[in-house]
């Protein structure tokens, strides 16, 4: 199967994100200039520091690490919810992987976001329009990618919502009346609506009860198998990563401290931080 993994669906190179003014001390990028990811002189926080990784086609890449290690910031930058400070990213589905998706025009960015990416937010409030019906929420991405046929979009939305087990009699309801697990499933349906080659998942199961967690995870796994979508899976839950991810990167203070096959990382962690993380698993 290794041959299929040769093509990278997403390539990220030298991604930086900092919050603050930066000063001569911390802009050198030297490790010892910072306390964890914080510059004590100017107060700049470094959320991502020179991050590079590849996501291969059809692969699920897990990103683990403690709160504040920069996991979600990666997804925010990739989905244009946040502007990166420096760095480049290439999608194989966008201009043959030749163009940096961070430096294209605002209109091209919308196209990338609306047609080539899907994102499931940790907080459904960010990913859904709570005052619109679930069908409309799914259709929103189709409308954004240029579809102007209402019945075709309705049929697609109904199909996807059925796929994520939203009962037909509730599809016209607003997600504000749904439980957290149902909202998360509507988000997944929305993210999948136009078959994006890359799906970004931010803590999809956090805050859900265990039985719902299992259902959502099953669903993600099933979708990945059936549609062969590449997924970037951010989670602080090692159990989720173990179940879904082929490879895993471990982040700490905005940097990757360890990367490798998920089993390898969980069974035989090399870095002290990863060892600590794995050993604190319940």
Partner 1 sequence: MNRERLYNFAFFDEGSKREVRRAILKAVAIPGYQVPFASREMPIARGWGTGGLQITLSLVGKEDVIKVIDQGADESVNAVSIKRLVVGTTGIRTTDDAREATIIQSRHRIPEFPLARGQILVLQVPMPEPLRFVESSEYATKRLHAEKEYSGAYLALFEEIMKYGRVATGADHPVLVHDRYVMAPSPIPRFDNPKMMRCEALILLGAGREKKIYAVPPFTKVASLDFEDHPFEVESLEGRRCRRCGAREVFMDEIIDDASGGAEYQCNDASYCASRTRARAGAPASGGG
The residues that touch partner 1, with contacts defined as CB under 8 A, are 106-107, 110, 114, 129, 132-133, 135-136, 139-140, 143-144, 148-154, 172
Q: Minimum Å distance from CB 171 to partner 1? A: 9
Q: Minimum Å distance from CB 125 to partner 1? A: 14
Q: Give the ranges where 95-179 is alpha helix by DSSP (H).
A: 106-111, 124-127, 134-144, 150-163
- List residues bridging with 60 in a β-sheet: 231
CA dist., res. 208 & res. 205, Å (int): 6
Closer residue to partner 1, CB minimum distance, 73 or 114? 114
Q: Minimum Å distance from CB 198 to partner 1? A: 20
Contact by Cβ (8 Å): 117, 92: no
Closer residue to partner 1, CB minimum distance, 157 or 245? 157
Q: Minimum Å distance from CB 134 to partner 1? A: 9
Strand 8-19 versus strand 198-202 pairing type: unpaired
Closer residue to partner 1, CB minimum distance, 114 or 205? 114
Closer residue to partner 1, CB minimum distance, 126 or 227? 126
CB-side neighbour CA atoms (13 Å) of 99: 12
Q: Give the ranges where the chain is alpha helix by DSSP (H).
A: 71-78, 106-111, 124-127, 134-144, 150-163, 180-192, 210-227, 238-244, 262-267, 272-279
CA dist., res. 137 & res. 193, Å (int): 10
Closer residue to partner 1, CB minimum distance, 36 or 110? 110
Q: Whose CA is closest to 228, among 190, 273, 197, 192?
A: 197
Q: Minimum Å distance from CB 128 to partner 1? A: 12
Q: Minimum Å distance from CB 135 to partner 1? A: 5
Closer residue to partner 1, CB minimum distance, 67 or 105? 105
């Amino acid at each position: 199967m290794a041959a299929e993994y040769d093509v990278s669906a997403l390539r990220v190179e030298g991604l930086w994100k900092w919050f603050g003014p930066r000063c001569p001390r911390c802009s050198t990028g030297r490790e010892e200039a910072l306390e964890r990811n914080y510059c004590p002189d100017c107060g700049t926080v470094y959320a991502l520091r020179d991050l590079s990784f590849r996501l291969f086609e059809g692969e699920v890449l897990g990103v683990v690490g403690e709160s504040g290690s920069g996991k979600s910031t990666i997804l925010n930058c990739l989905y244009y919810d946040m502007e990166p400070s420096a760095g480049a990213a290439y999608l194989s589905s966008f201009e043959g992987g030749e163009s940096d998706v961070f430096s294209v025009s605002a209109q091209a960015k919308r196209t990338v976001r609306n047609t080539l990416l899907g994102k499931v937010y940790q907080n459904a409030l960010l990913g859904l329009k709570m005052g619109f019906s679930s069908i409309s929420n799914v259709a929103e991405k189709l409308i954004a990618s240029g579809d102007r046929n209402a019945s075709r979009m309705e049929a697609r939305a109904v199909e996807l919502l059925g796929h994520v087990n939203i009962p037909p009699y509730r599809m016209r309801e607003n997600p504000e009346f749904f439980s957290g697990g149902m909202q998360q499933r509507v988000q997944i349906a929305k993210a999948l609506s136009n078959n994006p080659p890359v799906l970004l998942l931010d803590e999809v199961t956090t805050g859900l009860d265990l039985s719902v967690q299992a259902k959502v995870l099953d669903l993600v796994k099933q979708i990945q198998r059936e549609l062969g979508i590449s997924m970037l899976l951010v989670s602080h839950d090692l159990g989720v990563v173990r179940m879904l991810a082929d490879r895993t990167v471990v982040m700490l203070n905005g940097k990757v401290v360890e990367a490798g096959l998920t089993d390898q990382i969980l069974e035989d962690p090399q870095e002290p931080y990863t060892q600590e993380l794995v050993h604190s698993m319940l």
